[in-house]
């Protein structure tokens, strides 16, 4: 099975495979725990779920690559020469059929993740600025459903559009069309992130001006919102408008988590684009050499290039999974029943469930029990 791969590259390939399995296990545990918490249709679950699928596809891709290395190198060379002489450039993903299918399936997953991160940013922006712009208020449940369905359908169209022969004649246009979703998500998401952070910092300054303790903003377990209302009312001079701003602030952990996650995913997407340019350059070198690259160094580099793809699962776990207690994962593995339901106290003393998306849009009103 692995006889065709150069022995010098075998150790690296096995190491990458082990890392990939580890990333898959961590992200799978996260998704299972999110589903058990009743958050199966939330943005975080979709992002984490597709990171699992992309990592699983990458593992199959690695097995296919190692098992058929010589055949894939020959197919890659022949296809590269054909495309290069026809269009003057050869992009990544050319080669044997299953090699191409696995490549574009992972590409599809990356675009789904990028779109869901953008829609999550829009949701956070909507909630943070609704106190300033009243028309942004409301949860727009149907719009949230539409955005999730759109994130699943649109990348399929982008994959098909990127295969149009006419685009092969215009390299720059091909790159723009292929990565248009990622470019758009990173650009608009960056702007929204800046506005979200600005609003968060501004509301913290308003609070500090009235001597409100920081534990309110981080949803301390021992605090009750009604107690804070009494504190605010005791100031007398604080207007309702200012109080409305105070009520509508972000949970510190949520903002930090989203910021770190967005920045890391941004680097991840940029790295994927950089790898595409790298493959274009190496394909050009292969064509000019007149023979496929069968060197051990090339096999090592190709094996290492699987790491950025599987790292999306690790990023998802580090950003979202570490907010859960390790006991939760232990209970999940051993099938121990644990109450994951979080509740929000109402004025009448009744309770209702709160999801992670709702917490992210109205975090200052969430009291963890």
Write down the pLDDT at residue 55. Answer: 95
User: What is the β-pairing status of strands 351-353 and 343-345?
Assistant: antiparallel
Asked if the structure places residue 270 within a domain, the reply is yes
* pLDDT tens-digit map of 286-314: 888 888 888 888 899 989 989 988 988 98
Q: How many CA atoms lie within 13 A of 277 on its CB side?
A: 9
| CB-based contact 175:103 (threshold 8 Å) | no
Asked if the structure places residue 311 within a domain, the reply is yes
Write down the pLDDT at residue 120. Answer: 85
Backbone angles phi, psi at 353, to 5 degrees: -75, 155
Report the CATH number at residue 285: 1.20.1070
| CB-based contact 259:322 (threshold 8 Å) | no
Asked if the structure places residue 279 within a domain, the reply is yes
Q: How many CA atoms lie within 13 A of 104 on its CB side?
A: 19
Asked if the structure places residue 1 within a domain, the reply is no
Write down the pLDDT at residue 226. Answer: 42
Write down the pLDDT at residue 26. Answer: 92
Structure tokens at 67: 């098992």
Asked if the structure places residue 2 within a domain, the reply is no
Residue range(s) defining the domain that contains residue 108: 7-365
Comparing CA positions, the residue from 286, 281, 278 lying closest to residue 80 is 286
Residues of the chain with pLDDT under 70: 1-3, 86-95, 130-141, 203-254, 323-326, 335-369
Write down the pLDDT at residue 182. Answer: 87
Asked if the structure places residue 170 within a domain, the reply is yes
Distance, CA of 214 to CA of 249 (rounded, Å):
12
Write down the pLDDT at residue 51. Answer: 94
How many angstroms separate the Cα of 228 from the Cα of each of 131, 215, 365? 19, 11, 11
Distance, CA of 12 to CA of 15 (rounded, Å):
5
Asked if the structure places residue 20 within a domain, the reply is yes
* pLDDT tens-digit map of 84-138: 776 666 665 566 778 888 888 999 999 999 999 899 888 888 877 765 555 555 5
Q: How many domains does the chain have?
A: 1
Q: Transcribe 293-314 into DSSP letters.
A: ---HHHHHHHHHTTHHHHHHHH
Asked if the structure places residue 245 within a domain, the reply is yes
- pTM for this prediction: 0.75
């Amino acid at each position: 099975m692995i006889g065709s791969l150069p022995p010098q590259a075998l150790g690296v390939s096995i190491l990458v495979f082990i890392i990939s399995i580890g990333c898959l296990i961590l992200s799978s545990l996260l998704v299972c725990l999110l589903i058990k918490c009743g958050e199966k249709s939330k943005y975080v679950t979709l992002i984490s779920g597709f990171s699992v699928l992309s990592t699983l596809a990458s593992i199959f891709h690695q097995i296919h690559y190692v098992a058929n290395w010589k055949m894939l190198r020959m197919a890659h060379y022949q296809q590269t020469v054909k495309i290069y002489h026809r269009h003057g450039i050869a992009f990544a993903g050319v080669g044997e059929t299953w090699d191409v299918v696995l490549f574009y399936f992972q590409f599809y997953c990356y675009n789904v993740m990028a779109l869901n991160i953008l829609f999550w940013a829009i949701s956070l922006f909507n909630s943070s600025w609704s106190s300033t712009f009243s028309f942004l208020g409301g949860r727009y449940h149907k719009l949230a459903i539409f955005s999730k369905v759109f994130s699943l359908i649109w990348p399929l169209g982008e994959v098909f559009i990127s295969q149009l022969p006419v685009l092969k004649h215009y390299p720059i246009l091909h790159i723009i069309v292929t990565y248009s979703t990622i470019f758009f998500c990173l650009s608009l998401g960056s702007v929204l992130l800046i506005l979200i952070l600005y609003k968060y910092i501004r509301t913290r300054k308003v609070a500090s001006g009235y001597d409100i303790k920081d534990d309110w903003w981080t949803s301390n377990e021992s605090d009750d919102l009604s107690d804070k209302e009494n504190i605010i009312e005791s100031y007398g001079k604080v207007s309702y408008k200012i109080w409305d701003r105070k009520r509508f602030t972000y949970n510190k952990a949520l903002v930090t988590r989203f910021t770190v996650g967005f920045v890391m995913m941004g680097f991840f997407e940029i790295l994927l684009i950089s790898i595409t340019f790298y493959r274009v350059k190496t394909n050009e070198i292969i064509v000019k050499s007149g023979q496929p690259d069968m060197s051990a160094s090339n096999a090592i580099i190709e094996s290492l290039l699987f790491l950025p793809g599987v790292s999306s699962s690790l990023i998802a776990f580090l950003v979202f999974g570490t907010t859960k207690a390790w006991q939760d994962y232990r209970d999940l593995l051993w099938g121990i029943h644990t109450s994951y339901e979080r509740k929000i106290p109402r004025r009448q003393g009744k309770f209702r469930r709160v999801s992670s998306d709702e917490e992210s849009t109205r975090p200052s009103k969430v009291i963890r029990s």
